[in-house]
Amino acid sequence: MRRGTWFLIEDASGGGPNTADLLINREIEALIVGSEMSPAILEHFNDRGLPVFSANEVQIQRIDGIAFVNPDEVVAARARWAERMKTRQAEAKAEWLESNDPGVRVERKKEERKKLKQV
């Protein structure tokens, strides 16, 4: 396993934070998982900037037991992940601002009410 490698985990149901850190420390590029991963571990990977994709997002072809992915699908999946992370960071920042500044909380609620009235 080299730096920059995409790594396939067929059954992601049993890993914990220590296993996740082993993969993160190997500086792999991304994970593709064949089964559902624990939300806490998925969050752990996302917090550390390691993309995790389901086998439904990135189609896997197997030839003689070796997994291959289409490079175009990899680029598209990576772009979708980057957008999700931008949204996640913006939401986290908004939550932080709301929890630390009551004025921001009031302004945000006003904005939400305006949006509801427009709909």
Q: What is the pLDDT of residue 44?
A: 92
> In this predicted structure, what is the pLDDT of residue 74?
86
Helix (H, G, I), strand (E, B) or coil at 13: coil
- Contact 24/1 with Cβ under 8 angstroms? no
The closest of 56, 63, 70 to 6, measured between CA atoms, is 70
- CB within 8 A of 43, min separation 6: which ones? none
Task: Give residue 86's pLDDT.
Answer: 92
Q: What is the pLDDT along the chain (119 residues), one digit of tens a residue?
A: 677 788 888 888 887 888 889 888 988 889 999 898 999 999 999 899 899 999 888 888 889 988 888 888 888 999 999 999 899 888 888 888 777 776 766 777 788 888 888 86
